[in-house]
Amino acid sequence: MRYQFLVYISILVFISCSDSENKSAGSKVITDDLGNSFTFDKVPQRIISLAPSLTEMFYSLELEKHLVGNTMYCYYPKEAQKIEKVGDMLTFNFERIVSLKPDLIFITVEGNTKSAFDKFRDLGLNVFVSNPRNYDGIRKTYSDLGKIFAITEKSEKSLAAWDSTLNTIRTTRFGKNKTAMFLIELRPIMLAGNNTFINEYLQFSGLKNIASDSKLNYPIFSREEVLKRNPEYIIYPTGGEDTVEMLKQAYPEWKNLKAIKNNNVIFIDRDLYLRPGPRFIEALADLSNRLHRKEEAAQNLSK
């Protein structure tokens, strides 16, 4: 759903504020991505997740028993659909949220609004903010959850497996320094810029992002600029209905792009790739494998 991701990438600025909780002996102090410090004397028992990526992390860490609420967009894994829905990431049923008596609410900077954050604070609710801009940021949130819920051994084991897979992919780098366009939206032509976790799919795979010089996270390009930069690969998230012919119908001149002429358009799963959560490495491995197949096919044709 196009609207869903446009909501997700809206850059919504939070004002950082400090907490003045007493730190008792033996308690754990965790700092969220706004720099707010939280003291945990015991594991939170009732939590609400207001982002699909966070919900996926809770299930990955087998913490779903603590989930008492999430959003209508939290539908992966399928079990998450059974959790009570408290909003759609922009609007929430605050009365219902209060009635669920959460010990902690988890939100993201991209996806949730500052006004919602302020409202939760005004209601006296504890809000932990995640803002993963890259792979390291995803790792931090995952590691923070491990510490908050006293399962660091489990979270660190998963992170070690992620790092191992990443190192293998970075060693192979099947993209071989070819240029690529990560197309977020077709109309307008919205690309993933340099300062995004999405850019790291390209970078780690050995591809060069044609939008890496943009100061915007998700710049809008003209169709002429795309022609000028002439990417050798096009990566396009889809719900399964898109085709190369559809791209050419949208912009007929794109038939001259290297990516289209050489059949190097890769359609990917939107939900898998566009959530900065525990499936980041799965998505990266998928892209790496598909690049490998494309490059192998090109080599065979040239023989």
Domain with residue 196: its CATH number is 3.40.50.1980
Q: Is residue 1 part of a domain?
A: no
CB atoms within 10 A of CB 18: 9
In a domain, 81, yes or no: yes
Asked whether residue 168 is assigned to any structural domain, the reply reads no
CA distances from 183 to 186, 224, 226, 228, 271 (A): 7, 15, 11, 16, 14
CA distance 69 to 80: 9
Predicted TM-score of the model (pTM): 0.88
* Judgement on whether residues 193 and 139 belong to the same structural domain of the protein: no
Q: What is the pLDDT of residue 116?
A: 92
Single out the residue in 131, 163, 195 at which a domain terminates: 163
Q: What is the pLDDT of residue 241?
A: 77
Listed residues 111, 145, 163: the one ending a domain:
163
Whether residues 210 and 144 fall in one domain: no
Q: What is the pLDDT of residue 303?
A: 62
Q: What angle do CA 51, 52, 54 make, to 5 degrees?
A: 70
Enclosing domain of residue 44: 7-163
Beta strands in 70-191 (DSSP E): 104-108, 127-130, 179-185, 189-191
Give the amino acid at 20: S
Greatest CA separation for the chain? 70
The answer to whether the beta carbons of residues 66 and 81 sit under 8 Å apart is no
Check residue 228 and give its pLDDT.
97
Give the C-alpha distances (Å, rounded to integers) separating 260 from 56, 87, 182.
Answer: 34, 40, 14
Question: Within the chain, which residues score under 70 in pLDDT?
Answer: 1-26, 303
Kindly state whether residue 137 falls inside one of the protein's structural domains.
yes
